A and B are shown apart, each in its own frame.
Chain A
Amino acid sequence: EIVLTQSPATLSLSPGERATLSCRASQSVGSYLAWYQQKPGQAPRLLIYDASKRATGIPARFSGSGSGTDFTLTISSLEPEDFAVYYCQQRSDWPITFGQGTRLDIK
């Protein structure tokens, strides 16, 4: 199965700062990579699909890039509501797999 490794495990930043989250795949997933945000007690929310396409209603401060094995989620200027856990997920091959998550904390 394709293993997704997210880094860092925890990222501590202040509102207004730029956040850069990484996801590395154990083999190429092409552009079949998505990013999700999850807040405590809530279901995950789709942010980015096909590596760089923003989902409906997602603010422009969220952007995704990469292809093959290395991907990045960037939040250009953090808002208070952005502090959450972020997961990447691949759909290039079965089984579908998720990364272990990056927790974005308020500094």
Chain B
Amino acid sequence: EVLLVESGGDLVQPGGSLRLSCAASGFTFSTYTVSWVRQAPGKGLEWVSAISGSGVSTYYADSVKGRFTISRDNSKNTLYLQMNTLRAEDTAVYYCAKDISAFDYWGQGTLVTVS
């Protein structure tokens, strides 16, 4: 069974930093691109960042470029999102999602509140 479990969400002040983690199981983690997708309260879905299976290629939404860094540790089957210089508009539930043609598996999300 594929499982993605996010953690690390918290209340943080504007300008602060936070690191999210996503623990994966049930599939060969190192062979798949994975993404972070967020959803502000009462709003739609926004793709944030993606990283290739090897970790060589990374991609970012313009809204987070230069502030967020995606990374992965394939030996630990874990995805990370380092978030710096946080803004109120970064407040959202952050999901990690496995990517094969589309986001076929999602975690339950972790809430980040910037206030």
Contact = CB atoms under 8 A, between A and B. Distances in A.
Contact of A91 (B45, B62, B102): B102
Contacts of B62: 1, 95
Given A43-B109, A96-B47, A89 B61 contact: no
Query: Chain A: interface residue count, which band?
Result: 20 to 34
Contact of B44 (A34, A45, A46, A100): A100
Contacts of B108: 43
Interface string A77-107: 0000000000101010011111111000000
B61 A46 contact: no
Contacts of B102: 34, 46, 49-50, 55, 89, 91
Contacts of A87: 44-45
B106 A44 contact: yes
Given A43-B107, A44-B106, A97 B101 contact: no
A92 B79 CA distance: 23
Interface of A: 1, 34, 36, 38, 43-46, 49-50, 53, 55-56, 87, 89, 91, 94-101
28 contacts: A34-B102, A36-B45, A36-B103, A38-B45, A43-B95, A43-B106, A44-B45, A44-B103, A44-B106, A45-B106, A46-B103, A49-B102, A50-B102, A53-B101, A89-B47, A91-B101, A95-B60, A95-B62, A96-B35, A96-B47, A96-B50, A96-B59, A97-B47, A98-B46, A98-B47, A99-B44, A101-B44, A101-B45
